[in-house]
Amino acid sequence: MRILVTGGAGFIGSAVARIAIADGHDVMVVDKLTYAGNLSTMKDMSDDPRFSFVRGNICDPAAVESAMKGHDVVVHFAAESHVDRSIAGSDDFILTNCFGTNVIVDTARCLDVQRVLHIGTDEVYGSVEVGSSLETDPLEPRSPYSASKAGSDLIALSYYSTHKTPVVVTRCTNNFGPYQYPEKAIPLFVTNLMNSGKIPLYGDGLNERDWLFVGDHCTGIQLVLENGTLGEIYNIGAGNETPNRVLVDKILEIMGKDESSVQYVEDRKGHDRRYSVNIDKITKLGWKRKRSLDEALLETVKWYQDNRWWWEPLKKAK
């Protein structure tokens, strides 16, 4: 199979590309190489004959058409994805996440691509005080980032409704693992501690997130890509909603640090209190997580400890 991965120089996209190559597929990554997409993230794949890379912007229809020709499947990750950056300035989020997604699915329609898997986020459901979000629940995004992702989901799905373009959407919870850009929570906390810094903890530290190890997310993506029903949405979560304060304590314990390494900071504007998704639908496809939160955290911390070569230049460049 010939797979095009947009945003494949980023965290989750590169993980999917690795797995696809290991499974014998030909993979092309197209990435603009913004601050969050780096050639170093693809270093281990660069010499594989089944891998190719094109630097391109998903908002450029001609570049997208050139890259997509000849591919069977598109896995669409490319997006602006950091909430704090969207609060500071939202233009790039609307352009990339909405217009860029329209370019991707419209090009796939014109080229008769066999399947487009659009990667979404649980943040589109908004803050969930009780219970867990179903794929059919109303969308209540509360940041420019999540609003742009909600828009991108609807754009992608509209192509299935209107043109029968073979689109499937997944919505994942908070990912973590190797190669995650060090502005995100877990790699930020770990690398700060490695540099004798502090963990910045928003507000009272009781906001809850469902932390999903990237390897487990990738198996869910693969399953939906192969067996998901066209025009449908699949939530992917680990089912371990954890207050940020508890997550921080776990990291402190792994790294042999204490409370003096925690610094409470002013809460984020519009900070959603809790995310939680119902995963019955993807579970029925046969998916289940392989790692507990504690196991995956230990593996992730060790990776950052062993791979300063990758994250230190990125952290210095911020």
Catalytic amino acids? 122-123, 145
Tell me the torsion sign for CA atoms 314, 305, 248, 262: negative
What are the Cα distances from residue 176, in Å, to 71, 168, 214, 297? 29, 23, 6, 8
Q: Please state the separation of Cα 100 from the chain's center in Å.
A: 16
Rounded to an integer, what distance in angstroms lies between the CA atom of residue 90 and that of residue 151? Answer: 13
Rounded to an integer, what distance in angstroms lies between the CA atom of residue 287 and that of residue 93? Answer: 31
Give the single-character DSSP code of 229.
Answer: P
Residue 154's H or E segment, with its range, is helix 144-163
Q: In what order do the strands lie in the sheet with 73-76?
A: 51-55, 26-31, 2-6, 73-76, 115-121, 167-172, 233-236
> Are residues 118 and 98 in contact, defined by beta-carbon separation less than 8 angstroms?
no
